[in-house]
């Protein structure tokens, strides 16, 4: 087990510098354009693929870093560049985590490479869990997967929403109900291969922020996929469902983790790192502005009202990063989240990003409210962190239930 440390090693520092350079030289100059266009920044993703950032190898190296700091370090630097473009670069990772968390070795080796493609033919992937009537309430999911034993195929029907890369993805990972009587315990994850008939893009959403990232509905109409596309395999699913039914008959017992929640638990600290990156970017803009902007014959940072805001901003950012790093280290080293540390990190970091970006606008005054300065965009982007992959209210619920052991509602 790697010891927890707040100091990056030399290799990690080198990777961080490389990512920071890409964010500064490639992502930031393109940020305003793709925010206005509200389109997937394919040229930037391709550049990331050419240098090795958008690749299975890079993602795996960071994911399996024994210190746990590889992924949060990478997320912070890329999202420091721009949240919308960075999400287009890393969005495939959520689908990859879904396969890593629930798939067999064969499925991991088969499907994750197809999610990324290569530098000459870039692909993306989508993780599809949320539905129009089932966001935080995953137990209300309606998308169904029915097994056709005669053909060894699964048939999927339903509509997913808020899917990053939904409809444009090469590979879709879809969470569906296989046993409605078991609620969230009756869910499973499926791979929908490229060009599978019956899968189509529904509404593409025009968003408040992260507008360079494609978000859309995914419609599944009699989508037939091979039995081998059930993540983890049918034998493992049947065993899990049998245990869940037995516990249900016994009136409860040990909680069974469903496929969607396993993915979200693994990714929450990473989302916290994204929020830290956006908050840090806004803080740095505000700090530089406060040092150079003069009012009444002196830089505005000479005023306590401004200086104290910057002090609070930096303190909150550093605290958020520490929570993210702790949760990431715990996850990689198999230490249980006995106090919902993953949710803590995501909650605090996301709320910090919203607050810090708002403070940055206030420090810049009228300039901060215009698109001539990036803090306006950063503030719009920051709003998503308290919403996706579990709202702040859901994080508080998870934390409260974990601490109390009570079914708080």
Q: Show which residues are catalytic.
A: 389
Nearest to 156 by CA among 100, 229, 104, 245: 229
CB atoms within 10 A of CB 157: 16
Find the radius of gyration of the CA atoms of the chain. Answer: 22
**C-alpha dist (Å) from residue 236 to 12, 17, 199, 241, 246:** 37, 43, 26, 9, 16
Cβ contact 226:153 at 8 Å: yes
| Angle formed at CA 88 by CA 127 and CA 76, multiple of 5 degrees | 100
What is the three-class DSSP state of 7? coil
Please state, in angstroms and rounded to a whole number, the distance separating the CA atoms of residues 337 and 266.
Answer: 11
Kindly write down the DSSP assignment for every residue of 155-204, as one continuous string: EEEEEEEEEETTTT-SEEEEEEES-GGGGGGGEEEEEE-TT-TTEEEEEE
With the C-alpha atoms ordered 357, 363, 364, 366, is the resulting torsion angle positive or negative? positive
């Amino acid at each position: 087990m790697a010891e927890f440390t707040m100091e990056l090693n030399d290799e990690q520092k080198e990777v961080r510098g490389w990512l920071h350079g890409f964010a500064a030289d490639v992502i930031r100059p393109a940020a305003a354009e793709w925010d206005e266009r509200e389109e997937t920044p394919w040229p930037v993703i391709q550049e990331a693929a050419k240098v090795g950032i958008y690749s299975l190898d890079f993602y795996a190296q960071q994911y399996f870093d024994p210190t746990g700091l590889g992924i949060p370090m990478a997320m912070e630097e890329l999202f420091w560049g721009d949240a919308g473009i960075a999400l287009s670069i890393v969005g495939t990772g959520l689908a990859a985590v879904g396969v890593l968390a629930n798939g067999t070795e064969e499925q991991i080796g088969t499907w994750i490479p197809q999610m990324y493609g290569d530098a000459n033919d870039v692909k993306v992937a989508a993780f599809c869990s949320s539905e129009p009537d089932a966001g935080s309430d995953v137990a209300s999911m309606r998308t169904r997967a029915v097994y056709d034993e005669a053909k060894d195929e699964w048939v999927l029907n339903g509509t997913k929403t808020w899917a990053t890369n939904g409809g444009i993805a090469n590979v879709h990972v879809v969470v569906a109900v296989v046993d409605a009587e078991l609620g969230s315990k009756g869910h499973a994850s499926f791979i929908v291969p490229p060009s599978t008939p019956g899968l189509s893009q529904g509404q593409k959403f025009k968003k408040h922020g992260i507008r360079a990232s494609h978000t859309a509905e995914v419609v599944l109409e009699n989508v037939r996929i091979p039995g081998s596309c059930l993540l983890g395999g049918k034998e493992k699913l049947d065993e899990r469902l049998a245990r869940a039914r037995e516990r249900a008959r016994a009136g409860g017992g040990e909680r069974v983790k469903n496929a969607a929640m396993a993915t979200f638990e693994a990714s929450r600290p990473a989302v916290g790192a994204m929020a830290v990156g956006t908050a840090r970017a806004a803080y740095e803009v505000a700090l530089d502005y406060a040092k150079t902007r003069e009012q009444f014959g002196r830089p505005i940072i000479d005023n306590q009202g401004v200086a104290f805001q910057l002090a609070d901003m930096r303190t909150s950012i550093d605290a958020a990063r520490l929570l993210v790093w702790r949760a990431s280290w715990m996850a990689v080293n198999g230490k249980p989240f006995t106090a919902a540390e993953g949710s803590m990190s995501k909650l605090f970091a996301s709320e910090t990003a919203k607050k810090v970006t708002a403070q940055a606008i206030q420090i810049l005054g009228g300039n901060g409210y215009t698109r001539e300065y990036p803090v306006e965009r950063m503030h719009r982007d920051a709003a998503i962190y308290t919403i996706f992959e579990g709202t702040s209210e859901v994080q508080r619920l998870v934390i409260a239930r974990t601490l109390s052991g009570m079914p708080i509602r």
